[in-house]
Amino acid sequence: TKYVIKNVQWNTGNNFTVERGLQQIEEVISTWEIHESWLHWSEFLQEEDLKDSKRYHYRVCWSIPTRRKPIPRATASVYFVIEISKIKP
In a domain, 26, yes or no: yes
pLDDT for 14 beyond 90: no
Burial state string for 53-74 with b = 16 or more CB within 10 A and e = fewer than 16: eeebebebebbeeeeeeeeeee
Q: Quick one: pLDDT at residue 2?
A: 65
Number of structural domains the chain divides into: 1
- 19-47 mean pLDDT: 92
In a domain, 10, yes or no: no
In a domain, 5, yes or no: no
Cα-Cα-Cα-Cα dihedral sign, residues 19, 27, 42, 52: negative
pLDDT digits (tens, 9 = 90+) for 59-85: 999 999 888 888 888 899 999 999 999
In a domain, 62, yes or no: yes
Around 82, how many Cα atoms within 13 Å sit in the side-chain half-sphere? 25
> Where would I find the H helices in 1-89?
18-29
- Give me the domain span that covers residue 53: 18-85
User: Across the chain, what does the average pLDDT equal?
Assistant: 88
